Amino acid sequence: MPVSIAAIKIAQKDAGLPDAEYRELLRRIAGVTSSKELTPEQRVKVYVAIKKPRPKAPSAPLPLVSKLFGLFYQLKPTMPPIRNQIAWLLGCVAKANHLDAPPRSLNDATPQQLVKTIEALKQRLK
C-alpha cells in the first residue's frame, strides 16, 4: 500500500502530533528529519506509527477534583487572599502526600493522592 507524504501529514494533523514529536518519530523509525527523505517503505512505517493509537494520560477522577475545589471554597473565608487557587491546591497535594514537589496539574495527581489531600483539608475544617 503506497503512502504519500500528504497522507502522512494529514495523519499527523488528525493525531494531534506536535511537530517535535513527529520529527522524533521520523528519526526513530527512518533515521531522517524530513518526510521528503523517506523511501516508500519508510512512509508506510511512519504512517502506521502515526495511526497507531497512543495511550492517553490518565486524568484525575472528576469527582475527587470537584471535592477538592468544594473544600477549598469552604476554607477560603478563613484564609488570607490567594492569587492562584490551583497552585495552592497543588501545594496541598504535595504537603498531604509528603512529595518533594507538587504535581504539575491536578490531572497528574493519583486518585490516592487526591483522597489523602481531601482528608487533610477536611481536618482543617474541624
All structural domains of the chain with their residue ranges: 5-51, 62-125
Q: What is the pTM of this model?
A: 0.52
pLDDT reported for residue 57: 55
pLDDT value of residue 60: 54
Q: Angle of helix 85-96 relative to helix 111-125, nearest 10 degrees?
A: 100
pLDDT score of 3: 95
Q: H or E segment at 73?
A: helix 62-75
Residue by residue, pLDDT tens for the chain (126 residues) are: 789 999 999 999 998 888 888 999 999 999 998 999 999 999 999 999 999 887 665 555 678 988 998 998 899 888 888 877 888 999 999 999 999 999 988 888 899 999 999 999 999 888
User: Residue 41: its pLDDT value, please?
Assistant: 95
**Which pLDDT score, from 0 to 100, does residue 55 have?**
67
CB 61 within 8 A of CB 107: no
